[in-house]
A and B are shown apart, each in its own frame.
Chain A
Amino acid sequence: MEITVTVNGTAETRDVEPRLLLVHFLRDVLGLTGTHVGCDTTGCGACTVLLDGAPIKSCTLLAVQADGRAVTTVEGLIENGQLHPIQEAFKEEHGLQCGFCTPGMMLVAKALIESNPDPSEEEVRWAISGNVCRCTGYTNIVKACRRAAAQIRQAEVAS
């Protein structure tokens, strides 16, 4: 069936099988391979994207359920050729190792900071607790999220 999903600001209209998962729509139909798959039970968060701004696990949503809605993937974090402060912070704080969980983590962080501009360490840990990282032990991911939040607050004050 035909669906239209706005992905990273661009309306994408495709004819898809009703059973196609959103993650496969993004990866295989649109070629956006930054969204990863780490499990088959909604248990790891590697596939996290933003649906109308809220983090969801794209391995557990059908592409047709995203019809008429807006999806943000890691590829959409860069704006006007500029890295998002979250991306900068993950590099700066060594918040990634193999990089497989990173896109999902960054998108959760984005949603968190939008709703809570100054999250505490506990609030960050809670927010990312649906996303597994096997490499970093989370310490530096938490730091990266808080650093990004601080950066964004500062930028807002400056503007």
Chain B
Amino acid sequence: MSEGTRICGIGHSVKRKEDDRFIRGRGRYVEDVNLPRMLHMALLRSPLAHARINAIDASAAQAHPGVVAVVTGKDLEAHKLAWMPTLSGDTQAVLATDKVRFQGQEVAAVIAEDPYVARDALELIAVDYDPLPAVVDPFQALAPEAPLIRDEKEGQADNCCYRWQAGDKEATDRAFAAAEVVVKLKTHYPRCHPAPLETCGCVADVDPATGKATIYMTSQAPHAHRTLFALVAGLPEHNIQIISPDVGGGFGNKVPIYPGYVVATAASLLLGRPVKWIESRTENLISTGFARDYHMEGELALDRDGTMRAVRVKLTSDNGAFFADAQPTKFKAGLFHIVTGSYDLKAAHVEATGAYTNKAPGGVAYRCSFRVTEASFLIERLVQNAAYELGMDPAELRRKNFIRADQFPYRSATGFVYDSGDYHRALDLALDKVGYAALREEQERLRREGGDKLLGIGIASFTEVVGAGPAKDYDIAGLKMFDSAELRVHPTGKAILKIGVQTQGQGHETTFAQIVAGELGIPPEDVLVQHGDTDNTPYGLGTYASRSTPTAGAATAVVARKLRDKGRKIAAHLLEAAEEDLEWHEDRFRVKGVPEKSVTIQDVAFAAYTNPPEGLEAGLEGVHYYDPPNMTYPFGSYVVAVEVDRGTGEWKVRRMVAVDDCGVRINPMIVEGQIHGGLTEGYGIAAMELITFDEDGNCIGSSFMDYLLPTAWETPKFETYATVTPSPHHPIGAKGVGESATVGSPAAYVNAVIDALAHLGVRNIDMPVTSAKVWEALQRAGV
């Protein structure tokens, strides 16, 4: 908090600027965009998970009053648009031509004058399907006799979509061979869905006169989407403008390009009128980017005294019908190899195999930095089970093996260089706040008394890797993952900041203005932050994987510093002093030793346009593209206490203490809000959120009636605390926070439930941990 309170830069809980429109109902989301002569599109989706398409008869739909056009895969094929590339280098059908490969797959589109009519007409399309056996499980998919899902793909003889490994296999195997204790855990991190409250959609408006395509789109990455649109559709990139207006939550769901966007754009191009497509909730849940679905077999090697030696993981991922994971190119299982977590493990190996199945594609990071969530869950669950095996306290076992504060920067066994951390401090604070010793005593007492209530205490001490990322290792579809900021200070000292990232509720319009305030002394209310419009902002890869602050936040600080450097020259001219005799203070340059001789940033800005020193370019603006030197590594310790009813298996969170360290906090209020949200989504995943399928590939979890989300009633009450360990390589020491709580908390909740049952020999219950599953575990344990 180096800045004066007057300026409200870094460290101030400034109220959010964006709220003024939202509380008035004046947000502008994609569905709120209405253009003259706009048409409405609805998509026909496959009711079957796997079937050959013999014929599609759209004539009745075509003839229906109000219908303007029906588009099928055949029509798109004529324009080479029936298939599109995915973010993982695969191809995905835009509208199915040969087969349908998952329930809910896009088969045809109706474009009509009215949205109700478009939906009516869907019913009039007759599709002749030949059903094929559905493959709904990755192990079944990888078995030799499995039906081939991707028969259209050249060179694809089986259902394997990738094989990948990380770490040192030999060293790891050696460590395991020599280990005194090996703890194993087999668990499925189930398929779930980010389910932002706003579904996906777009309004595509291709101007027949100029050929310019303006696409309003629910996009977390408008620039990357524009480039991909240009490549897919062959449209000149400067003639595509993607506008991602207000976005009603993303959580990774709005990172991929979906067929609906492509079809709507093609339809607008063809028909010369704007076309709106807004998916329904069911469409969102059954067809757009799901998350997780990792089957993991983890092993931890330890000495009998509790020293951890190595971790080994075999994982099988269920990627659905198309490999469409949104992740950096070279990491096929995302950043799962952060699985060594917060521990000083000398050896680690991860072996991953991906399977095509007849399920929706996606593999997005649901409030997570590319599979970090799965990894963190696995190691934190393993550590707890190891504690039981060794008869040690789970907190003690963690403490014994944490990477120590003096070991940073720390190179992990799988090659990450952790920037900074103080894991002992975070855990100690959490244990202290929750009253750990007293809870353990109560747990013992309740067990002794043998009543209906059991108490469990679960810990998760997670480390994330976020802020992708350094160009040498990180790209999405070839686009390097730098990010950008462009800052212009106008003559009256008011500024506009344009950033390459895109907010979906994170509060960028406020926090990024605070970064400028911190660096240049222009109060946040005088800085307008713009984002989400490709014509109007510098290129960037977008907001997901907690990367906005680490990348574009850094770019903002650097560009502000560039302007300050130029400002110093102007100030020297105004004060008739040498540059080296000036010092910067909050919002002004002062002559050293004569603080009353000063000019404010506003004076400097005015002079930049009215009285620039001779030889200096006029104006006060700049742009910076920031290539981060390293990732950032936020961490924290969460402690959960749950009460489990021995008779019914029902469990309830009594305490949830969360200590987060995301480095320097730009706006503590917003950081807290992010943590609350993540703790809730983490709770949802641990307790209820599940997308599953029956053996025919019918999606169960296709509406909010079966895809359960936590409401205010179930959601635990959170007690949040902070430690601050700045990132040494980030210009303002910030690390990013949007996902810490979804990454860290599921293991804490599950560990707590298992801990309540641990004395009965229970070691695992797969998520979601429902009362029924707990009850079954109690039954099996003979209670």
Contacts and interface: CB of A to CB of B under 8 A. Distances in A.
B208 interface: no
Contacts of B248: 36, 38, 98-100
29 contacts: A27-B32, A33-B29, A36-B31, A38-B248, A40-B280, A41-B704, A74-B23, A78-B24, A83-B24, A90-B19, A91-B20, A92-B15, A97-B677, A100-B27, A101-B197, A103-B25, A126-B712, A131-B711, A134-B251, A134-B709, A135-B673, A136-B673, A136-B676, A136-B680, A137-B675, A137-B678, A137-B680, A138-B680, A138-B712
A133 B22 CA distance: 14
B177 interface: no
A92 B674 CA distance: 16
A136 B677 contact: yes
B24 A126 contact: no
B33 to A, nearest CB: 9
Interface in A82-104: 83, 87, 90-92, 94, 96-103
Given A90-B19, A132-B704, A100 B197 contact: yes
A46 interface: yes
Given A77-B24, A125-B712, A133-B712, 11 more contacts: A27-B31, A34-B27, A36-B197, A41-B281, A43-B705, A44-B281, A99-B22, A100-B29, A135-B677, A138-B715, A140-B676
A36 B197 CA distance: 9
A37 B197 CA distance: 8
Nearest to A133: B197
A87 to B, nearest CB: 4
B198 interface: yes
A131 B34 CA distance: 26
Given A36-B29, A102-B23, A138-B680, A124 B712 contact: yes
A99 B25 CA distance: 9
B551 interface: no
A137 B251 CA distance: 14
Interface in B247-282: 247-249, 251, 280-282
Interface bin, chain B: 35 or more
Nearest to B26: A34
Contacts of A129: 711-713
Given A33-B32, A132-B711, A134-B681, A43 B116 contact: no
Interface string B233-255: 00000000000001111010000
Interface string A114-137: 000000000011101111111111
Given A125-B713, A135-B249, A38 B199 contact: yes
A75 interface: yes
Nearest to B714: A129
A139 B674 CA distance: 11
B578 to A, nearest CB: 46
Instruction: Identify which of A27, A96, A128 gathers the most chain B CB atoms within 10 Å of its CB.
Output: A96
Nearest to B682: A137
A22 to B, nearest CB: 14
B196 interface: yes
Contacts of A128: 711-712
Nearest to B23: A87
A98 B198 contact: yes
Which secondary structure dominates chain A's binding surface?
Answer: loop
A98 B25 contact: no
Contact of B198 (A19, A38, A139): A38
A141 interface: yes
Interface string A21-53: 000000110011111111111011010000000
Interface stretch (B127-135, B162-170, B503-511, B746-754): B503-511
B231 interface: no
Residue among B15, B34, B282, B711 with the highest chain A CB neighbour number at 10 A: B711
B395 interface: no
Contacts of A99: 18-19, 21-23, 27, 246, 248, 505
Contacts of A102: 22-23
Contact of B25 (A39, A40, A74, A124): A74
B23 A98 contact: no
Contacts of B136: none
Contacts of A97: 249, 505-507, 673-674, 677
B704 A94 contact: no
Contacts of B195: 134
B673 A140 contact: yes
Contacts of B674: 97
A83 B23 contact: yes
Contacts of B410: none
A58 interface: no
Contacts of B680: 136-138
A83 to B, nearest CB: 7
A31 B29 CA distance: 13
Nearest to B278: A37
Contacts of B28: 33
**For A19, A38, A73, A129, which residue has the most chain B Cβ atoms within 10 angstroms?**
A38
Contacts of B249: 97-98, 100, 134-135
Contacts of B709: 132, 134
A41 B704 CA distance: 7
A32 B712 CA distance: 27
Contacts of B601: none
B670 interface: yes
A112 B347 CA distance: 57
A129 B249 CA distance: 19
B718 interface: yes
A141 B704 contact: no
Nearest to B19: A91
B669 interface: yes
A96 B195 CA distance: 17
A13 to B, nearest CB: 21
B712 A141 contact: yes
B304 interface: no
B22 A36 contact: no
A38 B281 contact: yes
B717 interface: yes
A30 to B, nearest CB: 12
A103 B281 CA distance: 19
A42 to B, nearest CB: 8
Contacts of A20: 116
A44 B704 CA distance: 7
Contacts of A39: 281, 703-704
**Residue among A20, A94, A136 with most chain B CB within 10 A:** A94
B679 interface: yes
A94 B669 contact: yes
A98 B246 contact: yes
